Amino acid sequence: MTLRLLLTQSGQGLKSRSAALPTIYAFREAVDDGGTPAAEVTIPQGEANGVLGTIGGRYGGWALLLMEGKPMFAYALSNQSQHKYRVASDQPLAPGNHIIRVKFDYEGGGIGKGATATLLVDEKEVAQGKIPQTVGVRFSLDETFDIGQDTGTPVLEEYESRMPFAFTGTLKKFVVVLQPQNLSDEERRRLHEELAKALMAVQ
């Protein structure tokens, strides 16, 4: 069974929202343990750019975004350039309605292991990339989960000068589907203990 986390707003599309710190830990688990973030968008004539959804930032996090009209999933293990991973289409989105989705397959075998990210547009694969190591426990103590823009630090330096890099198309819906964790009972216990320590540290 999957759990669907849906943040949506009718009419003009979804505006940016920021979540509290405990949600950061939940959404780290949502993606790193095999979750799949997806966005339903409308692209105007010309092109659209900006952040669709992001959590964490420069020192650890992920973002689903459009740059130069091309969809991209970015993952940061740390602030070092060798720890920035990009899975991007080489083609811009055509005007109209699209669903952009990331399938994040966590390898398992422990906490902070590798994963494969597959980027899909309208359920067709447009890019795939390997992330050799993922963030073990939490992305950040002071970043937020944002939709439609990035109010913290950028996951990639490429869009720092354009912050908050608000999406210029229409974001109709942003969804994260949680998949069963690919961790043993002991690994889940250790992870929850670390998350509890992190929560205590920010109270």
The pLDDT tens digits of the residues spanning 160-189 come to 999 999 999 999 888 876 655 556 677 667
125: domain CATH number? Answer: 2.60.120.200
Pick from 110, 155, 101, 93: which is nearest to 128 by CA? 101
The pLDDT tens digits of the residues spanning 66-111 come to 999 999 999 999 899 999 999 999 999 999 999 999 988 888 777 7
Q: Judge whether 117 and 73 are in contact, CB under 8 Å.
A: yes
| Residues with Cβ within 8 Å of residue 26, at least 6 apart in sequence | none
Number of folded domains that form the chain? 1
Measured at the alpha carbon of residue 120, what is the angle toward residues 110 and 191, in degrees to the nearest 5?
A: 20
The pLDDT tens digits of the residues spanning 124-171 come to 999 999 999 888 766 766 777 889 999 999 999 999 999 999 999 999
Measured at the alpha carbon of residue 116, what is the angle toward residues 41 and 193, in degrees to the nearest 5?
A: 95
Instruction: Give the per-residue pLDDT at 124.
Output: 94
Is pLDDT above 60 for 52?
yes
Q: How far apart are the first and last CA of the chain?
A: 33
Q: Are strands 60-67 and 70-76 parallel, antiparallel or unpaired?
A: antiparallel
Measured at the alpha carbon of residue 128, what is the angle toward residues 156 and 145, in degrees to the nearest 5?
A: 40
| Structural domain span for residue 13 | 3-201
The mean pLDDT of 29-47, rounded to a whole number, is: 76
**Range with top average pLDDT, 15-19, 33-37, 50-54, 142-146:** 50-54
Cα 36 to chain center, whole Å?
Answer: 9
